[in-house]
Amino acid sequence: MSKTDGTAQYYFHQGTNFSSFDYLGCQESREGEKYVYRFRTWAPNADFVGLVSDFIGWDMPYEMHKISEKGVWECEYRSDISLFGNAYKFMIRRGDKTVLKGDPYAKFSRGGADGASLIYKDNYKWSDKAWLTWRKKSIRLDKCGYLNTPINIYEMHFSSFIRHGQDNSYYTYREMADILPSYLKYMGYTHVEFLPLTEYPYDGSWGYQVCGFFAPTSRFGTPEDLKHLIDKLHNAGIGVIMDWVPAHFPKDEWGLYEFDGGPLYEYQGIDRQNSRSWGTRFFDLGREEVQSFLISSAIYFLREFHIDGLRVDAVASMIYLDYDKEPGEWIPNSDGGRENKEGIAFLQKLNAAIFKEFADVLMIAEESGSFAGITQPVSLGGLGFSLKWNMGWANDFYDYLSTDPYYRKYKHKALNFPIMYAFDENYVMPISHDEVVHGKLSLIDKMYGSYEDKFSQMRAAMLLMMSYPGKKLTFMGCEFAQFREWDYENSLEWFMLDYPNHRAMREYVAALNRFYLENPPMWSLDFDRAGFSWILADEADKNTVLFKRFDSIGNSLTFCINLSGEAQTMTFGGGARLERVFDTGNVGDGFKILYDEMTQNTELTVPSFSGVVLKEIKAKIKIKI
């Protein structure tokens, strides 16, 4: 073992080898005409580890040798020809139990029920230098506030976005590269966020039960094909975010589950080990080798695939010991509390490691609890994420929209209370996949009332979401008001665009997105109280809110959104003359704006289920010559 290998091994066991994918797994090199393959895996409790494969055979394992006291095993195989694409597994024996496991560090996998790892190496030539230069300049902290740039994310499940009509087969990464970049650009999105693309056996998990933490799923092509898609998106000016799942893993036999014949990657104690709801095992986040493994997985996709950000799934399950558990099923921490100190320390370590190498990527927390400091810097005691999903806003807002407008006055806090905590974290306003499935109804179908009313209310709701502080996320299909709930086994209902209301909704969302991108008051000070000011916050009887957004140099926009079933008139003072610059498309002749020069009061009438955006009319300066 070389000195370099020895250093990599030492830091792996210390929990600080964040490039452990260059040490473990299958490493290919050349010695003259020979191809040299060195296989390593971590199995500290194993009595025997051997390599089985296409090129050696699957019945007679090629013996591996234990090269570290803490359980790294290694073997070397020399070949006259390249073994690119050959399948292999590790045969692991502990006592009288023998298991066949895929390589946790495999760069490619057959996936499915078999899960054999594939020897893989590519030399993809990237062409996204201009994008990476822009990213380094724009995704940063500056004097105007954190992330002083528009972020409008299109959340997407790859296999159900679109399918081939004849046989319902998947689009490949390369086929998607021909259609997705232009669609997202036209629609006015800045980023696409893919539900997990790391290898997963079960389609019904939507990708959230991962077995291959370094292997893009083979369902849609090769790793090089995925790089091609990302490259095309970058060249279209679209950033790429990937859902990443460091909290848990499934119990598929070929995966991480009891990898060396007993619990290894998972917690040892039964109080922390299992997720009842997901049927999975929780990672032992306090174990150093697991920390090296997980942080290396994140670094690998950011470095090798030029991913622009990771949305970290199920953060609450990593920071609370009682997550998904009944009283008596969990053991308090050393202070008697419910916080998982090891999980918190891991997340801080993760974000510190990532931002040390990539100061210009996004780390986004999907955190359903009320843990304070999710987006606070690690140096100040926070978890160090860039952004956090505002799931509380989404739940309250959907409840409001499903309520008869006559009774909405009793739930008006859904409109004004979010501003009370809007600047406590760096929020993303999410209309996510979780909210349009499992009987929760599609976004359009959440709206109360008639068919026509649903469309009007959705337009107003989308304007409110896009105008409140925070970055934006919308799940696929919402943009054209698909009525059917999301179905992971089938394509979106693109045929709905043949119907005028659905086609018009997509064009409205595209126009709203473009208006958002072009107007800094809607995003420049998302995380600064100076960027928002109420004009009328408490008009509960009118189901209406009126407020202003500001950018960093004092420009402003005024928003009025009426979610009642009747036209509403609002009177407010102290401002300049205003003109309409955007509306929900259904205001018609019912919109009126009157300005009293003497009192500087404005009287604004907005029709039912509609919204308008107003801008100050700049006085013309006359110059006498």
Active site residues: 313, 366
Q: Look at residues 155, 254, 234, 238 and name the one whose alpha carbon lies nearest to residue 196.
A: 155
Q: Give the residue from 377, 49, 107, 66 showing the smallest Cα distance to 223.
A: 107
Can you tell me whether residue 447 is helix, strand or coil?
Answer: coil
**Side-chain-facing half-sphere of 119: CA atoms under 13 Å:** 23
**Cβ burial 412-431 (10 Å sphere, 16+ → b, else e):** bebbbebbeebbebbbbbbb
For the record, the structure tokens of 302 come out as 């950011």
Q: Which amino acid is at 14?
A: Q
Identity (one letter) of the amino acid at 367?
Answer: E
User: Which positions ≥6 away from 26 have C-beta within 8 Å?
Assistant: 37, 38, 39, 88, 103, 105, 106, 107, 117, 119
CA 43 to chain centre: 32
The burial class, CB within 10 Å (0-12 / 13-18 / 19+), for 439 is: exposed
Centre a 10 Å sphere on the Cβ of residue 38 and count the other Cβ atoms it contains: 17
Helix (H) or strand (E) holding 99, with range, is strand 97-101
Q: Provide the terminal-to-terminal Cα distance of the chain, rounded to the nearest Å.
A: 86
**What six digits make up the tokens of 257?**
């589950």
- The H-or-E segment that residue 425 falls in is none
Is the distance from CB of 375 to CB of 390 less than 8 angstroms?
no
Closest C-alpha among 3, 26, 6 to residue 17 = 6
Residue 496 structure tokens: 């709905």
CB neighbours of residue 402 within 10 Å: 16
Q: For residues 304 and 157, what is the distance between their CA atoms, to the nearest angstrom?
A: 22
Pairing of strands 65-66, 72-79: antiparallel
Q: Which amino acid is at 438?
A: H
